[in-house]
Amino acid sequence: MRRQLNTLYATTEGAWLRKEGENIVMEVERAVRARLPIHMLESLVCIGRMAVSPQLLGYCSEKGISICYLTPQGRFLARVEGPVSGNVLLRREQYRRSDDPAKCAAIVRNLLIGKVHNQRAVLARGWRDHGEKLSDASAFQHALKRLKRIAQRMLIETDTDVLRGLEGEAAQAYFGVFDQLIRIDSPLLRFGGRNRRPPRDAFNALLSFLYTLLTHDCRSALETVGLDPAVGFLHRDRPGRPSLALDLAEEFRPLLGERLALSLINRRQLGERDFRTFDNGAVLLGEDARKTVLVAYQERKREELRHVFSGEKLDIGLLPYVQAQLLARHLRGDLDAYPPFLWK
C-alpha cells in the first residue's frame, strides 16, 4: 500500500520559501520561521501572497511534488508540476468512456450512489447523537428515508442527465435538514442552504474552503495513478476545470467537508470572530481560522477507516488515492464496475 505523504500548507503572508539541502525553509522578513524535510511531502499549497525560489520550484518538479497557489479565501489560482507521468493507454480509455453515454452513466451512477450513501451516513450519525434534540425530527426522518429511496432509484438508472437530477433531489433533502445538526445558538453560524461564489454565510465559507482542499487532494491522487484530472464523467468538461477531481471529491464531501465543518462549529473551534463579512455580502475565513481548519483537516486525514471494498483499515488521507486506483483498474478492464467509497 502506498505510504501517506504530507501536504505542506504555507499561510504566512509575505513568506519566502526556498530550498536548503533536502529541506524547505520558510523565511519571513529574512528570519527563518520553519524548516521541513522535502522527502515526506507530496504537495505544497501556498495560500495568499508569498514567493517560492526557482531552485525549489525546479526541485519539486523533478521529484513530483506539485505546488498549488490559492487566494487567501481558498480559491484556486495556479498549479506548478513537472512532466505528466500518465499512462497514455489508460488516458485514451478514459476519454473514450467519457464520450460514451452508456459507459459514462455507469461510472456516474456509482459515484453518486457513494455520495448519497455518505450523505445519509452524516444524517444518520446526527440522528444517533442528537435525535431527541432536533427541532423537526419528522422532517429529519423523512430526509433519511428520501435519501435511501433516491439511492435505490439510482441503481437502475442509465441516463447521466437523470442521475444528475437525482443528485439534485438528494442535495435538496440533505441540505434541507442540515441546519438541525448545528448545535450552536449563534445566528451567524447557522446554515440556510448551499451558496457559493462567493459564500454568503459563515458555514458556506467553511465548506467552500474544505472543498478546495479536498479537490486538491483528489487531483493529486488521480495524477498519481495516471488519470487525467481534467476529463470527468459527472462534471462536464470546461477549460481549466479539474472535472474528474471534482467527480472523485463528491464521494468524500460528506466526510471531509460537511462532517468536519460540523465538528469545527459544534466543538467551538471556530466562532463568529473567525469570519469576515465584506461589502458585497461575501463571508470568508480569517487567517487564524484558516490555520485552525488546516490543522483539523490534516488530523482528520490521519484517522483510520475500514475500506468496504478492500476490507483494509486505511488512513482517511489515503482514500482518494485508493478510489483513484480503483477507477483506473475499472477503466483498464480489471474490475467490472467502479466500486464507490461507502462510509460506515
Q: Which residues pair with 118 in a beta bridge?
A: none
Contacts of 8 (CB under 8 A, 6+ apart): 24, 36, 41, 43, 44, 45
Pick the CATH number of 6-80 from 3.30.200.20, 3.90.180.10, 3.40.190.10, 3.100.10.20: 3.100.10.20
Model confidence over 174-220: pLDDT tens digits? 998 998 888 888 888 888 878 877 888 889 999 999 999 999 889 88
Please state the domain extents for the chain.
Answer: 6-80, 88-332
DSSP conformational letter for 267: T
Q: Please list the alpha-helical segments (H only) found in the chain.
A: 54-63, 88-99, 101-130, 137-155, 160-176, 202-225, 243-252, 259-266, 287-302, 319-332
Q: How many residues does the chain have?
A: 344
Model confidence over 88-139: pLDDT tens digits? 889 999 999 999 999 999 999 999 999 999 999 999 998 888 777 777 888 8
Residue 1: predicted pLDDT: 46
Asked whether the beta carbons of 56 and 18 are under 8 A apart, the reply is yes
Q: Where on the phi/psi map is residue 142: left (φ > 0), alpha (ψ -120 to 50), or beta?
A: alpha
> What is the pLDDT tens value at each position of the chain, 344 positions in all?
455 567 777 878 888 888 888 888 888 888 888 888 888 787 788 877 888 888 888 888 888 787 878 777 666 777 787 766 567 889 999 999 999 999 999 999 999 999 999 999 999 998 888 777 777 888 889 999 999 999 999 999 899 999 999 999 999 999 989 988 888 888 888 888 788 778 888 899 999 999 999 998 898 888 878 899 999 999 988 887 899 999 999 999 999 999 999 999 999 998 888 888 887 778 888 888 888 998 999 899 889 888 888 888 888 888 888 899 899 999 999 889 999 999 98
Domain 88-332 has CATH 1.20.120.920: yes
